[in-house]
C-alpha cells in the first residue's frame, strides 16, 4: 500500500477533444498515476481531470500536464462561462492515504516553483498552501469579476497581485493556481428555467460568502440552455449534500421553479451519498456495513488476514529453478502504452516507442547508480554516481515527454496534409510541420546519446553486480537512436534542398557513428566486470 495523493486539475478547455486528449495522455505517460475521471463542459469551456498516485509521480505528471496545456491553450482566444486564470487554471493536491496535508503543501510549493521558473508561468498558492491569508480562499484570488482579462494589467501594477512564483507578467498560457486542500465535491443543480438570474440569486443564497451555508461556494450560469447552480462543497461532512439540495429546492420555489436534475463533476467520496440516501429514506438505524458491497469487502479482507491465507506448503527446491526472481505486480504492469502501440492507429508509433526505449535505458542507468550509492566499496565514486542518478532521472522524464510529443507532431503533420489544396498556405504549413515532426526524433537521438554517456559511467565504475543491466541499457539506447534516426530520415526524405533539414540529418548520422562506438565500448566493459569476458 503506497502513499496516495489525489489531484483534481482544472484545464481551460472543454471543446477541443484533441487538446483534452493530449493533456490526459501526457498525464498517463509522465508518471505512475491513475487517471480516474475526465469531465469536460463546452459551455464552461473547462475540463476537470481526477487522478491519484504516489506523491513524486503525481507531481511529475502534473508538471508535464501544465506544460502540455500551456503549449495547446491560448488564453487570448479562450472564452467560457466559468471564471479562469490560465490554461491550467487550478491544481489542488488532496491527501488520501498515508500522506499528510503538510506533505501536500510541500508538493504544491515544489510544483509552483518549478512551473514558475521553468515554464515562466505566474503561480499563486492557495488554500492550505497559501503564503498569504487573503489567498487561502480561491474566490479571493479568481472570481467572475476578476479573472484572466483583469489579471493581465493588475499583475504588473498591483503589488497585491504579485504571484508567489514566476514572472509578474502574463503570457498566452495565463497564470496557474496551485494548492493543497481536503476533498471537496463539485456539484451542479439544474433548474426548470432558462432564466440565469434565478440561478445567480440562488447561488448567492446558498454560498457561505453571502451568508448562506457554511463550506459552500456557489454561482449561477446558463448551461445548455438551462439555468445551473454550480457549487463546490468544501466540507461535505459539516454541510452535507442533501442539506444543500433542499435549500436550493426551497429557494427555487420562491421563484416558481423546480429542480430539474443534479450533476456530479468528477468523483466524490462514497460517504457523502450514503449520508444523503440515509437522510432521504429516513433510515435512522442504518449502518454502512449493511451495504452488500461493504460486507463482501470486509469478508475478503478477513480472509486475506487469516493465517491460513498466508501459509503455503513447502515447494521442492528443484521446482523453483525456472521461476523469475520477482514478479511484476499486475496492478502496476506498464500495459497501457504497449496496448496503445498495438492498436490499429498510426500513433503512438515507432517514434514514440524509440523515446520510450531511451527512457528505459536512462532508467536502467539511474538504477545502477542507485545500487552503487551508499556502498562502502564504491565510496570513491559516490559523488559521480549521485550526479549520474540525478542526470538520468531528469533525462528519463524528458524522454517520457517526447513519447507524447512525437505522436502530437505526427498528428499535426497529418492535419497539415488535410488542408484544402487551394489553401495558399498549405505548402508552407506542410514544410513547417514536416520539420517539426523531425525535430522530436532528432531530440530523442540527442538524449539517447546522453543516456549512453551516463551508461558508460555506471558500466565502468558502478556496482559490478549490475554490470549486465548497464549492458542492456546500452543496447536499448542504441536501438532507440537507430529507430529515431530512421524517423528523422523518412520525415526529411523530400527535403534534400532544405538547409535546416540537411543539418539535422548530418547531426543525427554523426551521433549514430559515435553511439555505435561507445556502445561497443560499454558492452566490452560490462562483460569484463560481470565475468562474462576476460
As annotated, the active-site residues are 82
Strands 123-127 and 176-180 come out as: parallel
Cell of 144: 467572475
Cell of 383: 559523488
Inter-residue contact 45 to 82 (CB < 8 Å):
yes
Place of cell 489531484: 7
Going by C-alpha positions, the residue among 451, 460, 449, 455 that lies closest to residue 470 is: 455
List C-alpha distances in Å: 399 to 360, 394, 412: 9, 9, 20
What is the rounded distance in angstroms from the CA atom of residue 464 to the CA atom of residue 459? 8
Alpha carbons within 13 angstroms on the beta-carbon side of residue 526 total: 23
Inter-residue contact 171 to 121 (CB < 8 Å):
yes
What is the rounded distance in angstroms from the CA atom of residue 485 to the CA atom of residue 351? 9
List C-alpha distances in Å: 463 to 283, 371, 379, 454, 466: 64, 6, 11, 14, 6
> What is the largest distance, in Å, between two alpha-carbon atoms of the chain?
91
List C-alpha distances in Å: 104 to 89, 185, 341: 18, 19, 34
Going by C-alpha positions, the residue among 39, 91, 30 that lies closest to residue 64 is: 30
Q: What is the DSSP letter of 348?
A: S
Alpha carbons within 13 angstroms on the beta-carbon side of residue 175 total: 33
Note the residue count of the chain: 534
Buried-exposed string 342-376: b where 16+ CB fall within 10 A, e elsewhere: eeeeebbebbbbbbbbbbbbbbbbbbbbbbbbeee
Q: What is the DSSP letter of 173?
A: T
Inter-residue contact 158 to 152 (CB < 8 Å):
no
What is the rounded distance in angstroms from the CA atom of residue 469 to the CA atom of residue 523? 10
Q: In what order do the strands lie in the sheet with 226-233?
A: 216-223, 226-233, 185-191, 259-265
Alpha carbons within 13 angstroms on the beta-carbon side of residue 265 total: 23
Amino acid at each position: 500500500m503506497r502513499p496516495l495523493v489525489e489531484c483534481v486539475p482544472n484545464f481551460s478547455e472543454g471543446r477541443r477533444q484533441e487538446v483534452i486528449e493530449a493533456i490526459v495522455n501526457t498525464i498517463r505517460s509522465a508518471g505512475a498515476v491513475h487517471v480516474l475521471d475526465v469531465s469536460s463542459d463546452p459551455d464552461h469551456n473547462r475540463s476537470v481531470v481526477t487522478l491519484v498516485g504516489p506523491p513524486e509521480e503525481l507531481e511529475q505528471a502534473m508538471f508535464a500536464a501544465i506544460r502540455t496545456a500551456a503549449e495547446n491553450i491560448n488564453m487570448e482566444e479562450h472564452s467560457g462561462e466559468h471564471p479562469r486564470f490560465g490554461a491550467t487554471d487550478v491544481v489542488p493536491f488532496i491527501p488520501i492515504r498515508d500522506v499528510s496535508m503538510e506533505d501536500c503543501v510541500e508538493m504544491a510549493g515544489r510544483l509552483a516553483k518549478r512551473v514558475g521558473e521553468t515554464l515562466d508561468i505566474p503561480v499563486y498558492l492557495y488554500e492550505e498552501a497559501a503564503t498569504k491569508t487573503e489567498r487561502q480562499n480561491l474566490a479571493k484570488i479568481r472570481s467572475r469579476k476578476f479573472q484572466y482579462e483583469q489579471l493581465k494589467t493588475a499583475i504588473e501594477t498591483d503589488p497585491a497581485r504579485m504571484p508567489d512564483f514566476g514572472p509578474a507578467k502574463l503570457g498566452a498560457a495565463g497564470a496557474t493556481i496551485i494548492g493543497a486542500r481536503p476533498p471537496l465535491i463539485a456539484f451542479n443543480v439544474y433548474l426548470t428555467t432558462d432564466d440565469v438570474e434565478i440561478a445567480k440569486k440562488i447561488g448567492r443564497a446558498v454560498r457561505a460568502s453571502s451568508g448562506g451555508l457554511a463550506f459552500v461556494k456557489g454561482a449561477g450560469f446558463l448551461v445548455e440552455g438551462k439555468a445551473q447552480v454550480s457549487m463546490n462543497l468544501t466540507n461535505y461532512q459539516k454541510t452535507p449534500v442533501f442539506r444543500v439540495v433542499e435549500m436550493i429546492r426551497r429557494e427555487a420555489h420562491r421563484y416558481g421553479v423546480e429542480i430539474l436534475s443534479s450533476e456530479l463533476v468528477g468523483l466524490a467520496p462514497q460517504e457523502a451519498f450514503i449520508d444523503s440516501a440515509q437522510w432521504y429514506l429516513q433510515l435512522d438505524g442504518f449502518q454502512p456495513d449493511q451495504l452488500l458491497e461493504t460486507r463482501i469487502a470486509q469478508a475478503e479482507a478477513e480472509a486475506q488476514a487469516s493465517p491460513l491465507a498466508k501459509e503455503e506448503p513447502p515447494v521442492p527446491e528443484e521446482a523453483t529453478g525456472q521461476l523469475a526472481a520477482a514478479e511484476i505486480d499486475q496492478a502496476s504492469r506498464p500495459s497501457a502504452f504497449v496496448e496503445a502501440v498495438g492498436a490499429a492507429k498510426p500513433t503512438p508509433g515507432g517514434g514514440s516507442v524509440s523515446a520510450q526505449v531511451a527512457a528505459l535505458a536512462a532508467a536502467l542507468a539511474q538504477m545502477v547508480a542507485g545500487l552503487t550509492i551508499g556502498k562502502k566499496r564504491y565510496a570513491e565514486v559516490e559523488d559521480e554516481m549521485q550526479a549520474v542518478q540525478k542526470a538520468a532521472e531528469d533525462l528519463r522524464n524528458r524522454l517520457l515527454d517526447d513519447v507524447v510529443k512525437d505522436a502530437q507532431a505526427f498528428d499535426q503533420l497529418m492535419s497539415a496534409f488535410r488542408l484544402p489544396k487551394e489553401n495558399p498556405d498549405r505548402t508552407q504549413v506542410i514544410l513547417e510541420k514536416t520539420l517539426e515532426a523531425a525535430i522530436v526524433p532528432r531530440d530523442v537521438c540527442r538524449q539517447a546519446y546522453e543516456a549512453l554517456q551516463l551508461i558508460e559511467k555506471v558500466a565502468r565504475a558502478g556496482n559490478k553486480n549490475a554490470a549486465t543491466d548497464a549492458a542492456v541499457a546500452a543496447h536499448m539506447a542504441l536501438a532507440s537512436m537507430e529507430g529515431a534516426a530512421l524517423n528523422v530520415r523518412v520525415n526529411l526524405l523530400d527535403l534534400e534542398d532544405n538547409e535546416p533539414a540537411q543539418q539535422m540529418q548530418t547531426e543525427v548520422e554523426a551521433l549514430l557513428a559515435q553511439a555505435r562506438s561507445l556502445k561497443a565500448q560499454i558492452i566490452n566493459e560490462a562483460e569484463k566486470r560481470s565475468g562474462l569476458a576476460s
